[in-house]
Amino acid sequence: MQPKFKKMLYGGDYNPNQWPKEIWDEDMKLFHQAGINSTTINVFSWAKIQPSENEYDFTELDEIVDTLTKEDVQIVMATSTGALPAWMVHRYPEVARTDFEGRHHKFGHRHNACPNSPVFQKYAKRLAEKLAERYGDNKNIVCWHISNEYGGECYCENCAKAFRVWLKDKYKTLDEVNKAWNMEFWGHTIYDWDEIVPPNDLGDGMPWGSGTAFAGMSLDYMRFNSDGMLNNYKMERDAIRKYDKETPITTNLMGTYKGLDYFKWAKEMDIVSWDNYPSYNTPWSHVAMTHDLMRGLKDAPFMLMEQTPSQQNWQPYNSLKKPGQMRAQSYQTVAHGADTIQFFQLRRSVGGCEKFHGAVIAHAGTADTRVFREVTQLGKELEKIGSRVMGSENHAKVGIIFDWENYWALEYTSGPNRDLRYVDQIEQMYNYFYNKNIAVDMIPIDADFSKYDLVAAPVLYMVKDGVAESLEAYVQAGGTLITTYMSGIVGQSDNVHLGGYPGPLRKMAGVWVEEIDALAPEQRNKIRFADGTEEECRLVCDLMHLEGAEEIAQYESDFYAGMTAVAKNQFGKGTVYYVGTDLSESGLAKVLAMAADSAAIQPVIGEATALEITKRQADGEDLYFIINFKDEEIPLPAVFDGKEDILTGEKVQGGEMLKKYGLRIVSVPRA
C-alpha cells in the first residue's frame, strides 16, 4: 500500500553540521516563516558518525534531530551511505571503484562505493542498522532515505567475480552464456567462467551509449550492475526494518537516468522519490514526461525529493528561475502526482563544489530575498491545499511503454544510425499527447495493458519472451497499439528474431520490413498521406511490404518512393499502427491523431488550449492544475467558468487571462 504523509512535506536538504549552532536557531525561525515543515538530513555524514572502524559518534546528529523534533519539523532521515568515509578507502582500497578505463580510484567525490565490496556492504548495513535502532521510534521521522542518487558502475575484480556468479545463476552453463552472447562471432567462445571479463575499455566493452562488441554481454552487465546496487538498497532497507516496521523507505531517483532499471527498483521501494533538475532550456513537456514516468514506476503518487529554489551550479549556464517559475514548476510536479515538494537545499553551503547551488536561505542569510519570498508564498499555499491534494490520483487511457532493457539494447546496437536515441523517441510520442492535454501513463513492458485504450511502444527493439503474446492479446481484445521502425528486432540477449522484421510483431502489424535505410543528418525523405498532404521524415526508413495491413502513407522519394511508410492493421478487435520512419512533429501528429480518434481518446478538457492542464482525482472532486508555460497570455478555458480555485477560494472566470507562469487549481465536484 502506498504510504501517505500526515501533511504535505515542504522543505528539503539541511546540512547544519557546516555551521555553528547560533545559525541553527536562525534557521528554525526562517523555516517557520517560510512554511517549511520538513528537512532531509544526514545525507553525507558517514565520516562524521563513524570516524573510524570501531567508533560511532551520534552526538551531532542527536542534536540536529533534537532541534528539529523540538520545533516539530518532519524529518526525512538519510543513511549517509552515498559517500564513503576517507578512512575506509584508505584502509580498504577495495571499497573504491575501478572505472571503465580500468583505473582503480582513491578517495574522492561521492557515489563512490564498489557495490560488490564486502567491506562496503558490511559497514553500510551496520550503519543503517544503528541509525534505525537509535532513531526508529522518533515520530518526526516520516521517511527513510537510503544512500543518494544511486548510479555509476564499477569494473573491479570483486565485480568481475560477482558478475560471474550472477551469470552462473542466470544461465547455469557456459554453453548457454556462449549462445546468449553469440560468442562464436569473432571466436569469443568461453570455456571457463573465469575467462569472462566485465565489458569495459580493457575488455570487450565500449562506453555506455555507443556500440559494443557483444551487446548481450553489455546488457547483462547493465542488469547485473542495476541489480547489484538494488541489493545494496535492499540490504539497508532490511536493516532498517528490523527496528522500524512502518516508516516508508525510499531513495532518490533521477528521472530517465539510464543506468538503473527503475521499474525493477520501484518494486522494492515503499514510495518513489526523485530529483528534478531541468536546464534553462529543457522543454516543460520533458519535465512533465519525467514526472509521469516517476509516477508510473509504482502507478502512485511520488515524492519530489529535490529541486532548486532558483539556480543550479553544475550546469554550464546556471540561469535564475524567473519570478513565478519555481511556483509553476512545483505545481506542475504536484499536478503530475507529487505529494511532497522539497528543495535542495535549505541553506547555501559555505564551501565545496555546490556552494553556488540555489537554496532557500542565501549566503546573505536573510529572509529579505526574492527567492525566500517565493518559497514563503508557496509554503503558505501548500499548507492550505496540501491535504486536499495528497493521495489524489492521476488516471490515463494512454500508456507509453518505457523499458530500461530496451533503452540499453537499442543504444548498444551498432547500426543503422548512430543518432537514434531512445528517450528522444519516447519523448516525440509523449509530446503529441502533452500538447493535447491528454493524460499519459508511462508504463513498463509487463504492464496490464487492458487498462489502456491506446498503448504506444516506440522503437520496441527488444521484444522479450511473452511480450509479443501480451501485446497480441491486448490488441485482439480491442486495444490500439502504435509501434515504429526498429521494433521487434531482437530478443532478451540481443540476438535477432530470425524470419523477417519486425519479428514477433510482424503478424499483428501485418507488415514485413525487408530493409532498413539510414539517413545522414543532412538527408531527408518525405511521406505522402492518402489525402495528398506531405510530411518530412529522417533518420531511419523501413522498406516494408504490406501483409494484410493497409497503407496510411507512402514514401515520396529515393528508390523506395511509393513503398509504404506508415501502415495500419486490424488485428482481432483492435488495431496496430506501424510507423516505418522518424516523422516530423506534424507528421507524427497526423498518425497519432488517427490512432487516438479511433481509440476514442479524450483530453482532460474538450477545449483546445496552449495551457498545460492536468487532472488529479481527489475525494469527491477533480482537481485541475492549469498552468501557463508559454511566453504569451492565454485565456482560461470556458469550461472552468464559475468553478472554485482552491488556492484563492475564488470562482474563476472562463476567458480570464493567465500570464506566463500564471496558474489556477480548479476543483470540479465529481458526481
List residues forming the annotated binding site for Zn(2+).
114, 154, 156, 159
In angstroms, the CA 593 to CA 496 distance is 32
| Residue that the C-alpha cell 505522402 belongs to | 528
Which of the residues are catalytic?
149, 306
In angstroms, the CA 329 to CA 307 distance is 9
Name the packing angle between helices 215-241 and 404-412 (round to 10°): 150
Q: Does 363 bind a copy of itself (CB under 8 A)?
A: yes
Among 310, 394, 614, 628, binds a copy of itself (CB under 8 A): 310
Per rule CB under 8 A, count of chain residues that contact a copy of itself: 115
| Binding region | 110, 114, 148, 154, 156, 159, 314
| Residue that the C-alpha cell 544510425 belongs to | 417
Q: Does 93 bind a copy of itself (CB under 8 A)?
A: no
Among 5, 100, 166, 181, binds a copy of itself (CB under 8 A): 181
Amino acid (1-letter code) at residue 33: Q
Q: Of 295, 296, 577, whose CA–CA distance to 444 is shortest? A: 296
495, 182 contact by CB (below 8 A) = yes
| Residue that the C-alpha cell 569472462 belongs to | 196
Q: Does 620 bind a copy of itself (CB under 8 A)?
A: no
Q: Does 631 bind a copy of itself (CB under 8 A)?
A: no
Interface residues for a copy of itself in 408-427 (CB under 8 A)? 413-419
CA dihedral 87, 93, 97, 99 (to 10 degrees): 130
Q: Does 62 bind a copy of itself (CB under 8 A)?
A: no
In angstroms, the CA 630 to CA 660 distance is 6
Q: Does 54 bind a copy of itself (CB under 8 A)?
A: no
Q: Does 671 bind a copy of itself (CB under 8 A)?
A: no
Interface residues for a copy of itself in 431-490 (CB under 8 A)? 490
Q: Does 126 bind a copy of itself (CB under 8 A)?
A: no
At 386, is the secondary structure helix, strand, or coil? helix
Q: Does 156 bind a copy of itself (CB under 8 A)?
A: no
Among 216, 228, 587, 637, binds a copy of itself (CB under 8 A): 216
Interface residues for a copy of itself in 262-291 (CB under 8 A)? 280-281
| Strands laid side by side in the 302-306 sheet | 249-250, 141-145, 74-78, 38-41, 9-13, 338-343, 302-306, 273-275, 252-253
Interface residues for a copy of itself in 219-258 (CB under 8 A)? none
Q: Does 561 bind a copy of itself (CB under 8 A)?
A: no
Among 21, 56, 70, 86, binds a copy of itself (CB under 8 A): 86
Q: Which stretch binds a copy of itself (CB under 8 A): 284-292, 316-324, 579-587, 662-670?
A: 316-324
In the structure grid, which three cell numbers stand for residue 308, read together? 532548486
Dihedral angle sign, alpha carbons of residues 438, 441, 446, 451: negative
508-547 mask for a copy of itself (x: CB under 8 A)? ----x-xxxxxxxx---------------------x----
H or E element: which one contains 537?
A: strand 534-546
Nearer to a copy of itself, 359 or 438 (CB): 359
Q: Does 57 bind a copy of itself (CB under 8 A)?
A: no
Q: Does 56 bind a copy of itself (CB under 8 A)?
A: no
In angstroms, the CA 459 to CA 416 distance is 13
Interface residues for a copy of itself in 367-396 (CB under 8 A)? 369-371
Within its chain, how far is the Cα of 230 from the centroid?
16
Q: Does 158 bind a copy of itself (CB under 8 A)?
A: no
Strands (E) located in 61-146: 74-78, 141-145
In angstroms, the CA 228 to CA 492 distance is 19
Amino acid (1-letter code) at residue 455: V
Among 11, 15, 441, 555, binds a copy of itself (CB under 8 A): 15
In angstroms, the CA 644 to CA 666 distance is 5
Nearest approach in angstroms of CB 424 to a copy of itself is 16
Nearer to a copy of itself, 517 or 612 (CB): 517
Q: Does 366 bind a copy of itself (CB under 8 A)?
A: yes
Q: Does 104 bind a copy of itself (CB under 8 A)?
A: yes
